[in-house]
Structure 1
Amino acid sequence: MSNSSLVLLPSSHARARDQFPGADELEKELRKKVRGEVRFDPASKALYATDASNYRQVPIGLVLPLDEEDVVAAVAVCRAFDAPILSRGAGTSLAGQGCNFAVVLDFSKYMNRISAVDPVARTVHVQPGAILDRVREAAEQFHLTFAPDPATHSRCTIGGMIGNNSCGVHALMGGKTVDNILSLDLLLYDGTRMTVGPTSAAELEQQIAAGGRTGEIYTTLKQLATSYAEQVRARFPKIARRVSGYNLDELLPESNFNVARALVGSEGTCAIILGATLQLVHSPQFRTLMGIGFEDIFIAADNVPTLLEHHPIGLEGMDGLLLDAMRRKQKSADDLALLPSGEGFLIVEFGGATQAEANRKAQELAAAVAVLPQPPSVRIYTSAEASRIWHIRESGLAATVFVPGKGTGWEGWDDSAVDPKQLGSYLRSIYALMQEFRYTSPMYGHFGEGCVHMRHNFDLETEAGILSFRHFLDRATEITLAHGGSLSGEHGDGQARGALLPKMFGPELMEAFRAFKRLWDPTNKMNPGKLIDAHEPHEDLRLGADYKPLKPKTHFALLEDNGSFASANLRCVGVGACRKTDAGSMCPSFMATGEEMHSTRGRAHLLWELMQGEVLEGGWKNKQVKESLDLCLSCKACKSECPVSVDMATYKSEFLSHHYEGRLRPLSHYAFGRIDVWARLASFAPGIVNAINNAPVIGRTMQSLLHIHHKRSFPRFSKPFTREKQSKSGAGTEVFLWADTFNNYFHPPTMRAAHQVLTEAGFKVVLPSQHLCCGRPLYDFGMLDTAKKYLLKVLDALSPQLAKGTPIVVLEPSCATVFRDELTNLLPHDDRALKLREQTFLLSEFLVKYAPEYRPPSLTGKIVVHGHCHHRATMGMNDEMTLLRATGSQVTLLDSGCCGMAGPFGFEKDKFDISQKLAERVLLPAVRNASQETRIVSDGFSCCEQVMQNTGARPLHLAEVLAQTSNTSGNDHVESGNLP
């Protein structure tokens, strides 16, 4: 399409209500024949309507097959109804190949088996839904690895990697996915099953002689290879990162007529992958990472060929704009300080048989760059520092997606590649083009192989902006081809670059590509409209000139998202970090269920779709959206672990507030949401209330009314600390000790210990003179009008302290986050709210900042720490760990994620099993395996309840540890009345 003929094309909204003829009958037949899951409901369609690209196409329906037989059955039904099919893994594709108006086969939930690694042959056979990191973990037992490792390695599937021909950092060491595939087990749309791989001349003739559909395929492949060999040799770029187009070069004699590798990168447009045999490579067990800082990214790129002469196993580039984006988002601030000075950075990794060998290689490179005309700055990292540097690099894509004050960076010209010798010139040319179009983007990527990632501030919401975006793609294509490059160097063509391929390959090779596609898929039912004869890159946009989301009035200000609930959820661009299951806290409900609907991404997509009103109807009253949010534990982990800071706890609270407008809420909402009221009343006769709660008949009746699981017991009320006669306070600087509902009314020893610690540190401790509550449980149920009243009461009561700048110490992390987070989001224009946010500290933060001379007591033994989710997400654990380590104990911080209790969540009948599953992932086994002398530390009341109600042990709050004397050990000081 020439620039002069460019016109605006239909967006996704124009097609969102497309219906497949016979969809109801198709669904019924699939349900009869498939033993796995079949979903044609609106929420499932909404969840799979987009991937990590700019595109949106609402699918016909979804199938989650249990095994190969299910896939065969599903394809047979689709064939009978003439329905198109899309194979999908983790849904992190960036070029639009992961969404289509088709029946989606999601292999990630069930078909993820990994067979035993063969360490001699260095192979492993996997199903398409196998997660890359799980494969790598299995291989590392034999000092082997699967070389390609994209930044999404914690959740991307092998099937998706094969479809896209994924690469990653260590493709420099072991090649792209195509270079590491031995064979593929295939299912074609017509039902043919094949296993393909390298084919000798004799084997080729045998396959042809066999006749039938298989013989036809091999006959035609041979004809294609013969007819187009010279075109392939002449027009395919001679670079490591040519990912665009079909791999016809793999059918040449010099490539052993490798049919499996010819299909790698075909993006599901030719065949369905049922299994793959992977080639593993040696994994260097000793590695050294170094950072090299140049004046700018262009000079850094100029020096890549020199660095490659030293044979690194990884060579990545990043520019200063990428780091600026991370700083604006307050991501990895401490890690960024590890980078050397400069505005253009190369991250170089060496491997060796010994650590000394890897170190020597790094030192040799450092010596070599030291004699350059303009010597760069160099830093060689320890192994601990190296992991932090890799985290920066892996956060690159999402760090550039949404930047406060800058807006959204969109993919589109995302992963072009050139020869590393051309890299500096290429970047300068692209930068000049960006200036011409007034676009900005960080530049980063796999510089060792000339692959560059960018996300530009394209305007995809106006006709002029969309056409400008399309013009830019044409011009950028011309620059890339002038430098002998490939339009895609990693993420594939899909819809983003499919229509641009004729510029790169010319008409003859495009006809060869079409013939290749027709051979495998003659009826064009496999992911149609992608890669070959693709829809235009400015078509089917998720946004588009007709993008007009609902703009409801919200309780939360959402200032960073211009007050728009739709914009807040548009932050999620599908990178899928919430789908990891091995570490961190995000996303606990996905970790427990493996369901897209219960991931942060899934919820964000549903809420975004809700604002469109095209697939999901009913607005705030939509039951499927509520179902998705019901399993959100409001842990806030997504706000810190999600690279674009999707704040699902806030979105859930906002949704629930509107969902229940004008409706009577369940009794449990009032019971748990207003727990401070009931705790205050119970505090006048806690013994009687506890006895009633635990009486067999009354207790069971209350559990039934409140939908509490029978294995849960009610927390025990106590006389509040604020009614105790207080010990003498210090005479120094005044500090206000917040009496939160949980520690004051349920476990006053924590308050007592904090008062002691602060007094002994020399501070004058002031307590509230009236009942106050931050209202934390109210947010779990969306009771935001009441929450605002609570906050205004707090601000009125604390006015003297706020005016004087008195530090306010909060012991319960979830209460501290109300003052640090929800408060200013609900009351953004109240100056007192801003002061309270700035004056609120956890005990550890306060002691580190205001009592630098404070020394914790000397303790022996071990301390095992479970960090509350809000503590980790909003404040971080550094100060807490600093104080605990200063006791002299051996301190371990568990990577235990969410404890699973999350306030009322873990008490509810229908959520008990998930709560237990999350607790058993790391936390409870760690508690059970700890010795009697080991101190278990957790500052969250809910976390302590989870541990107590499952093990009988009560963890200590930091305040209780610091209040101990040196001869006190373990948890033996806990009163038996506090045990369940």
Structure 2
Amino acid sequence: MSTSSTTTTAASPFVLLPSSHARYNERFPAAADLEQALRQKIRGEVRFDDTSRALYATDASNYRHIPIGLVLPLDEADVIATVEICRHFKAPLLSRGGGTSLSGQGCNFAVILDFSKYMNKMGPVDPVTRTVHVQPGIVLDRVREAAEKFALTYAPDPATHSRCTIGGMIGNNSCGIHALMGGKTVDNIHSLDILLYDGTRMTVGPTTEAELTAHIAAGGRIGQIYAELKRLRDTYSALVREKFPNIPRRVSGFNLDELLPENHFNVARALVGSEGTCAVILGATLNLVQSPQFRTLVGVGFEDVFIAADHVPLVLTHKPIGLEGMDRLLLDALRRKQKALADLPLLPEGRGFLLVEFGGATQAEADERAATLALSLQTITPTRIYTKPEAARVWAIRESGLGATAFIPGIPTGWEGWEDAAVDPTQLGSYLRSIVALMQEYGYHSPMYGHFGQGCVHMRISFDLETEKGILDFREFMDRAADIALAHGGSLSGEHGDGQARGALLPKMFGPELMDAFRAFKRLWDPANRLNPNKMIDGHEIHEDLRLGADYNPWQPKTHFAFAEDNGSFPAATLRCVGVGACRKADAGTMCPSFMATGEELHSTRGRAHLLWELMQGEVLPKQWKNEQVRESLDLCLSCKACKSECPVSVDMATYKAEFLAHHYEGAHRPLSHYAFGRIDLWAHIASFAPRLVNAINNAPGIRGLIKSLLHIHPNRTFPRFAKPFTSEPRPAQPTGNADVFLWADTFNNYFHPSTMRAAYQVLTGAGFRISLPQHHLCCGRPLYDFGLLNNAREYLLKVLTALAPQLDAGTPIVVLEPSCASVFRDELTNLLPNDPRAAKLRSQTFLLSEFLVRYAPDYEPPQISEKIVVHGHCHHKATMTMADELKLLRATGAEVKLLDSGCCGMAGPFGFEKDKFDLSQKLGERVLLPAVRANTEAIIVSDGFSCCEQITQNTTSRPKHLAEVLAQPSQQ
């Protein structure tokens, strides 16, 4: 959103800009005809619906522009056709990478080309020339993985390396941690295949004088381009040498310095960092560099971040391949968000830190370089040399920076804007002191972290972007901060580009003559100004088109959940998403399983959060809670809760989904499956009186098919078999005098897998505890959340709290075997009943079996096991608790234990049973879990989650075991 008036204040020379709300609901006049023309020619996907437009309305910046439409090209032919059709309709175009741009260059009122779904291929790595050709949509980590097979790498590696695309990196001139080793993106481009808005295709790269002369002599559009580039070089070369700061991280402006003779008139590199304003990239040939196969990381602690910055020049004399810095505020942010708590103690003592990485041809060489640095600093400050596993954990702290500092409970939100300036490393300490003094003037605060070795420091400053005064202060601060950076010989941008965040400041840095040169460079490539218009050059103002703004007034609906950390506001909860796109990774972790399966922004945590935020604005997406397109986007959310822990700002899509569905179906008919799956505890309780009969009925050929048809269950799924519940079994008398523990009889283990309950009972009594069980049927209501049956869920929880009153009053530990049920008591319980003191008690008294044994039975010794153990962690276990205690117990058996990085199993309660989700469920299971189970037929497969076990047993011959069953078996040696 933008601001809403044109008033000024005495404190600021800037004005609030007129609101741009009116154009948000306007469409490109010929949008319908443009869409139809595209659909006739494009073999990929064309999307002009409101949902897609809302989905791509913002990137990771402060800005918001509703696009005209979206094209996902299948190949180059699609791109060429899209440009041709847009040219016919005079429609602007924006090439978008991973959507993680922080300066606003990734959103515009344009037709957006998203290459990430289809144009993400790469050719073979050539280890001789050290090059590889790629399409623009390929993710950086895929390139690095291929290059590492030859001990090569692509040097620039921003923190978003698991999801940023090469096309986006070229657009922004990205850098990252190891740019110290191999330079920025501009330094690692061999050539570019480009398409201009007028249809001209070119392959550009370094150009000899003879080649330049030949191009000009050939005439035509290409000849004109080279002639004008030569004129720009000859006219402005002296000024470029004078005005372009000679620092490692000058990213601002167009790269006219690459046209200088000493830089081989490299047209490809001149286009790097042009943010899609000059050409559409069809492909790129990248230069690869030697990748040190042996690396050692050193942590160095200082009294504060300024002193850490002062020591950067000294550390650089030791020739590290990476040199990062961060301050205590980043660590404080992680502590407040309960993230990386086990990793933070790895850092040496201090309030400012440098992370220094060395590479070598051997581990001994890398270690020696690290030891030399540590020795040189031993009389100055504490250091720590890390093992390889420790180094990975420490790097994760640094890479969490942007997300970890963007949203911190209890602290004003940090925003981008002045998050990217760079100076010469020798000036870094002075620059940081000056910027912090300026922030203090305005009452701002921000953690600091980034690429200290190249003088580039990132910040998330607590700008007020919701009031007139706050916005004018923000604009004034930006102007004064620019003066400070330039006074230190710096660049306005050191990595993220100019876009809209810093475009208006470029005249300060380069002066009027070079700005004329920049405009001429832009007009040369894009005379019609149709490629990402109003970015960088002659762009919109820094405080225009804000996502928030002085007129930000979202719908504030009444909600079932408290959203306490978001001040009770659902819009504030959805605003947590700052667009860093960690949910778009596809190689590790759990978040976001549906995106891993489909590759669709619509099915990412970020995409869903953006849609829900847009829904609260009521400008693009209609019908509020009744919006069917938003429901469809949430339909493939598996409610795995991984985003709650893996998302750096803890977006909790499972909760948002439950809240949305609760309102979506208010006063409306629900599918029968909601009641069948959501109230499974009721049906299981009824079936428990005659489980064999119910199983026989369920599996009778005619009845089985009818039930599956009525409930939309896939034909390949089999019904879990009911069993006689454990709570109805006779149990031996227990000795008195032992400590009490309450064993929760969850629906899944009690009515389907009573052997697990039996095993847990044996383990707990064997460990010396006296066990009590529920006296009547109780259920936490876990399946109810999948369907937004929140009124029922509240009733279930109140019933549980009443039944457990004696245990809660006595402080009795409550052991829960099913991780998803434990997560209800750890998470949803206090969110639904925030003011009930009993809820807080139950939350604090709930333990998984592993947690309980480690905490309350420190002398417990598990049986000795000789078999290999392969562990699949339940999503809720990893998201709301930790696997550490479970792994500790399993390793104490003496067995070889492997924890799979298998993400979500794909079953996710009722999700995997549904007919229209079966294929996606199977795809997720086959990603890691099921192949790993089949490859370990002799191993013990440990999986505590009922759904996970169902996915395994319905797709393999293995019978997984719960931790309780493993601990209850006799020792094998």
The interval holding the TM-score normalised by the smaller chain is over 0.9
> Is this contact kept in 1: 2:92–2:110, CA < 8 A?
yes
Quote the Cα distance in structure 1 between the aligned partners of 2:841 and 2:11.
Answer: 55
Quote the Cα distance in structure 1 between the aligned partners of 2:412 and 2:53.
Answer: 28
Quote the Cα distance in structure 1 between the aligned partners of 2:19 and 2:321.
Answer: 42
The 5-angstrom pairing of residues 691-706 of structure 1 reads: 691-706=696-711
1:224 to 232, 235, 240: 232
> Is this contact kept in 1: 2:12–2:472, CA < 8 A?
no
1:211 to 219, 231, 235: 219
Quote the Cα distance in structure 1 between the aligned partners of 2:283 and 2:177.
Answer: 24
The alpha carbon displacement at 1:729 in A equals: 3.0
Quote the Cα distance in structure 1 between the aligned partners of 2:20 and 2:848.
Answer: 47
Seen in structure 2, the aligned counterparts of structure 1 residues 155 and 730 have a Cα distance that, compared at 3 Å, is farther
**1:41 partnered with 2:49:** yes
2:837 aligns with 831
**1:96 partnered with 2:104:** yes
Any idea what SS the aligned residue of 2:869 has? strand
**1:312 partnered with 2:320:** yes
> Is this contact kept in 1: 2:12–2:476, CA < 8 A?
no
Seen in structure 2, the aligned counterparts of structure 1 residues 534 and 296 have a Cα distance that, compared at 3 Å, is same
**1:849 partnered with 2:865:** no
> Is this contact kept in 2: 1:557–1:828, CA < 8 A?
yes
2:516 aligns with 511
2:3 aligns with none
Any idea what SS the aligned residue of 1:407 has? coil
> Is this contact kept in 1: 2:678–2:783, CA < 8 A?
yes
2:473 aligns with 468
Quote the Cα distance in structure 2 between the aligned partners of 1:271 and 1:29.
Answer: 22
The 5-angstrom pairing of residues 393-792 of structure 1 reads: 393-731=398-736, 732-792=738-798
Quote the Cα distance in structure 1 between the aligned partners of 2:936 and 2:317.
Answer: 51
Any idea what SS the aligned residue of 1:362 has? helix
Any idea what SS the aligned residue of 1:712 has? coil
The alpha carbon displacement at 1:12 in A equals: 5.6
**1:376 partnered with 2:372:** no
1:971 aligns with none
The 5-angstrom pairing of residues 955-970 of structure 1 reads: 955-967=960-972
Quote the Cα distance in structure 2 between the aligned partners of 1:10 and 1:190.
Answer: 33
Quote the Cα distance in structure 1 between the aligned partners of 2:370 and 2:551.
Answer: 54
> Is this contact kept in 1: 2:56–2:107, CA < 8 A?
yes
The alpha carbon displacement at 1:11 in A equals: 5.1
Paired residue type of 1:576: G
Runs of 5+ consecutive residues of structure 1 not aligned to the other structure: 969-980
Quote the Cα distance in structure 2 between the aligned partners of 1:951 and 1:423.
Answer: 58
Quote the Cα distance in structure 1 between the aligned partners of 2:597 and 2:463.
Answer: 37
> Is this contact kept in 2: 1:640–1:873, CA < 8 A?
yes
Seen in structure 2, the aligned counterparts of structure 1 residues 26 and 613 have a Cα distance that, compared at 3 Å, is same
The alpha carbon displacement at 1:734 in A equals: 0.2
Quote the Cα distance in structure 2 between the aligned partners of 1:312 and 1:208.
Answer: 44
Q: TM-score, normalised by structure 1?
A: 0.98
The 5-angstrom pairing of residues 13-412 of structure 1 reads: 13-371=21-379, 375-412=380-417
> Is this contact kept in 2: 1:730–1:763, CA < 8 A?
no
Any idea what SS the aligned residue of 1:6 has? strand
Any idea what SS the aligned residue of 1:583 has? coil
2:953 to 948, 954, 972: 948
2:918 to 912, 915, 931: 912
The alpha carbon displacement at 1:623 in A equals: 0.6
Any idea what SS the aligned residue of 1:379 has? strand
> Is this contact kept in 2: 1:167–1:177, CA < 8 A?
yes
Quote the Cα distance in structure 1 between the aligned partners of 2:103 and 2:937.
Answer: 52
Quote the Cα distance in structure 2 between the aligned partners of 1:129 and 1:408.
Answer: 31
The alpha carbon displacement at 1:912 in A equals: 0.1
> Is this contact kept in 1: 2:912–2:921, CA < 8 A?
yes
Moved over 2 A (4+): 1-5, 10-15, 727-731
Task: Determine what percentage of the aligned residue pairs are the same residue.
Answer: 76
Quote the Cα distance in structure 2 between the aligned partners of 1:599 and 1:74.
Answer: 26
Quote the Cα distance in structure 1 between the aligned partners of 2:581 and 2:12.
Answer: 38
> Is this contact kept in 2: 1:603–1:629, CA < 8 A?
yes
> Is this contact kept in 2: 1:11–1:543, CA < 8 A?
no
Seen in structure 2, the aligned counterparts of structure 1 residues 10 and 583 have a Cα distance that, compared at 3 Å, is farther
Deviation sequence 1:176-197 (CA, Å, 0-9, x none): 0000000000000000000000
1:972 aligns with none
Any idea what SS the aligned residue of 1:530 has? coil
> Is this contact kept in 2: 1:91–1:98, CA < 8 A?
yes
Quote the Cα distance in structure 2 between the aligned partners of 1:771 and 1:10.
Answer: 61
Any idea what SS the aligned residue of 2:486 has? helix
Quote the Cα distance in structure 2 between the aligned partners of 1:961 and 1:11.
Answer: 64
> Is this contact kept in 2: 1:312–1:351, CA < 8 A?
yes
Paired residue type of 1:639: K
The alpha carbon displacement at 1:423 in A equals: 0.3
The alpha carbon displacement at 1:370 in A equals: 2.1
Paired residue type of 2:477: F
Quote the Cα distance in structure 1 between the aligned partners of 2:151 and 2:497.
Answer: 30
> Is this contact kept in 2: 1:606–1:625, CA < 8 A?
yes
The alpha carbon displacement at 1:367 in A equals: 1.2
1:978 aligns with none
1:974 aligns with none
Quote the Cα distance in structure 2 between the aligned partners of 1:202 and 1:340.
Answer: 57
Any idea what SS the aligned residue of 1:142 has? coil
> Is this contact kept in 1: 2:278–2:522, CA < 8 A?
yes
1:875 to 877, 881, 885: 881
> Is this contact kept in 1: 2:907–2:913, CA < 8 A?
yes
Quote the Cα distance in structure 2 between the aligned partners of 1:497 and 1:728.
Answer: 74
> Is this contact kept in 2: 1:12–1:55, CA < 8 A?
no
Paired residue type of 1:471: E
The alpha carbon displacement at 1:155 in A equals: 0.3
Quote the Cα distance in structure 2 between the aligned partners of 1:542 and 1:236.
Answer: 32
Seen in structure 2, the aligned counterparts of structure 1 residues 323 and 730 have a Cα distance that, compared at 3 Å, is farther
The alpha carbon displacement at 1:4 in A equals: 5.3
The alpha carbon displacement at 1:821 in A equals: 0.1
> Is this contact kept in 1: 2:485–2:491, CA < 8 A?
yes
Quote the Cα distance in structure 1 between the aligned partners of 2:255 and 2:120.
Answer: 26
The alpha carbon displacement at 1:245 in A equals: 0.1
CA RMSD, 1 decimal: 1.0
1:818 aligns with 824
Any idea what SS the aligned residue of 2:591 has? coil
Deviation sequence 1:140-168 (CA, Å, 0-9, x none): 00000000000000000000000000000
The alpha carbon displacement at 1:390 in A equals: 0.5
> Is this contact kept in 2: 1:199–1:257, CA < 8 A?
yes
Paired residue type of 1:759: T
Any idea what SS the aligned residue of 1:114 has? coil
Any idea what SS the aligned residue of 1:317 has? strand
The alpha carbon displacement at 1:407 in A equals: 2.7
> Is this contact kept in 1: 2:937–2:958, CA < 8 A?
no
Any idea what SS the aligned residue of 2:457 has? coil
The alpha carbon displacement at 1:89 in A equals: 1.1
